[in-house]
């Protein structure tokens, strides 16, 4: 089978990591996989997964000329690849893929996955997807509900829940990472993700300012790095910014606690990975998290509440029985969101889309 993935860029992020995972799985089965996307530091990972990478011009919501240029480049790619399935990730990529397919004679089936958008953007997402896609795959039940509530027909939505897991890093890897990042021996409280508004890092920074005896760090990069660094300096300089960290398993393995403070989520892969390693987690109880993570497996707190975050983190750092219980419950629940089921469902979805079946999942 020939599969063409389309996404805005290959900058580090959960959606991009999932695409690379899908590409590696498909190429291992003998499929021909191409990934068309804007530039990003993970371009090399596509090739390492055995897929071909095609660079698209950068696009943005309000740049119609850029969209036309990207659609023209993608149309050339479609003619070259002649895909059976065009797997588009999120709304802009779906619109771009529809434009490209309209300009070719390709019989390729457009398969969009919605990985989640800000709550206020679902109406626009529904409107665009109704016009461009026969069906849509949602990455979690909450994304499906939100899309349906915004007007997209529920009988045209399939759900393939994100799956993720990590193998524990050996002690030598963890020690090497600790040394390379110059992390001390204090308990490490870590946040992992892009430095963007959605992740609400000011809540993490404010919570850190209320807790003594721990090292707080954020692993990731993004457009808000300078702003967040200045905010951290003004809040007691309690948070270190580590930049991009390649060995996430080793980093999580060093942590006493992993914290996510997002204001919204589709379903964050990093959170699932932390839980798969049995590391205690504090997370905001947004739909994409609360739907999947059992209450006993993590401490879920209201979004936008630094006090609730600091209280939950303090409990994990000081109550050894609580930390042990969270670890045990997380390890017990983790097989339910392992990547194997997600990959099998996408394999079936590709076949169903190619053969014209009424449902994909």
Nearest CA to 306 among 175, 187, 200? 200
Do both 107 and 157 map to the same domain?
A: yes
pLDDT for residue 63:
60
- Residue 360 forms part of a structural domain: no
Do both 286 and 155 map to the same domain?
A: no
pLDDT for residue 66:
76
- Residue 132 forms part of a structural domain: yes
Do both 177 and 307 map to the same domain?
A: yes
b vs e for 299-308, b when ≥16 Cβ sit within 10 Å of the residue's Cβ?
Answer: bbbebebbeb
Tokens found for residue 261: 């403070």
What is the tens place of the pLDDT at every residue in 245-298? 999 999 999 999 999 999 999 988 999 999 999 999 999 999 889 888 888 999
Q: What is the DSSP secondary structure assignment for residue 334, as one 8-state letter?
A: G
What is the tens place of the pLDDT at every residue in 196-205? 999 999 999 9
d(C-alpha 262, C-alpha 264), whole Å: 5
Do both 147 and 196 map to the same domain?
A: no
Do both 17 and 152 map to the same domain?
A: yes
Do both 320 and 344 map to the same domain?
A: no
| Model confidence, pTM | 0.92
Sign of the torsion formed by the C-alpha atoms of 49, 54, 60 and 64: negative
DSSP letter string, 130-192: HHH-S-EEESSHHHHHHHHHTT--GGGEEE-------PPPPHHHHHHHHHHTT--SSPEEEEE
Domain containing 63 equals 2-163+339-355
Sign of the torsion formed by the C-alpha atoms of 38, 39, 41 and 43: positive
CATH code for the domain in which residue 148 is found: 3.40.50.2000
Local confidence pLDDT in tens for the 361 residues of the chain: 999 999 999 999 999 999 999 999 999 999 999 999 999 999 999 999 999 999 998 776 556 667 888 999 999 999 999 999 999 999 999 999 999 999 898 899 999 999 999 999 999 999 999 999 999 999 999 999 999 999 999 999 999 999 999 999 999 999 999 999 999 889 999 999 999 999 999 999 999 999 999 999 999 999 999 999 999 999 999 999 999 999 999 999 999 999 999 999 998 899 999 999 999 999 999 988 988 888 899 999 999 999 999 999 999 999 999 999 999 999 999 988 889 999 999 999 999 999 999 999 8
b vs e for 83-118, b when ≥16 Cβ sit within 10 Å of the residue's Cβ?
Answer: bbbbbbbbbbbbbbbbbbbeeeebebbbbbbbbbbe
Do both 193 and 285 map to the same domain?
A: yes
State how many domains the chain has.
Answer: 2
Do both 322 and 343 map to the same domain?
A: no
Residue 309 phi/psi, 5° resolution? -65, -50
């Amino acid at each position: 089978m020939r599969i063409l993935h389309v996404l805005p860029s290959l900058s580090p992020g959960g959606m991009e990591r999932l695409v690379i995972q899908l590409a590696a799985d498909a190429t291992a089965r003998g499929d021909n996989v191409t990934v068309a996307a804007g530039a990003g530091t993970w371009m090399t990972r596509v090739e390492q997964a055995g897929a071909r990478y095609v660079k698209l011009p950068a696009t943005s919501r309000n740049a119609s000329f850029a969209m036309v240029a990207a659609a023209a480049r993608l149309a050339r790619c479609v003619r070259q690849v002649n895909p059976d399935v065009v797997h588009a990730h999120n709304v802009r990529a779906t619109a771009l893929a529809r434009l490209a397919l309209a300009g070719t004679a390709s019989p390729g089936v457009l398969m969009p996955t919605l990985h989640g958008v800000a709550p206020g953007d679902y109406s626009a997402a529904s409107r665009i997807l109704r016009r461009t896609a026969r069906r849509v795959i949602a990455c979690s039940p909450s994304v499906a509900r939100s899309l349906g509530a915004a007007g997209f027909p529920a009988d045209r939505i399939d759900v393939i829940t994100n799956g993720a897991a990590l193998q524990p890093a050996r002690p030598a890897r963890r020690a090497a990472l600790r040394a390379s990042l110059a992390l001390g021996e204090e308990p490490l409280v870590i946040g992992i993700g892009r430095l963007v508004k959605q992740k609400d890092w000011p809540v993490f920074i404010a919570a850190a300012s209320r807790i003594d005896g721990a090292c707080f760090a954020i692993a990731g990069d993004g457009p808000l790095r300078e702003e967040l660094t200045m905010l951290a300096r003004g809040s007691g300089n309690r948070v270190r910014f580590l930049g991009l960290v390649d060995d996430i398993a080793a980093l999580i393995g060093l942590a006493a606690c992993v914290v996510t403070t997002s204001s919204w989520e589709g379903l964050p892969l990093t959170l699932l990975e932390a839980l798969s390693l049995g590391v205690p987690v504090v997370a905001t109880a947004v739909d994409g998290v609360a739907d999947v993570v059992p209450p006993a497996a993590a401490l879920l707190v209201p979004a936008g509440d630094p006090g609730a975050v600091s209280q939950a983190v303090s409990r994990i750092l000081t109550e050894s029985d609580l930390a042990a219980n969270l670890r045990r419950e997380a390890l017990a629940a983790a097989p339910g969101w392992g990547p194997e089921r997600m990959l099998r469902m996408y394999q079936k979805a590709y076949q169903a889309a190619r053969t014209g079946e009424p449902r994909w999942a």
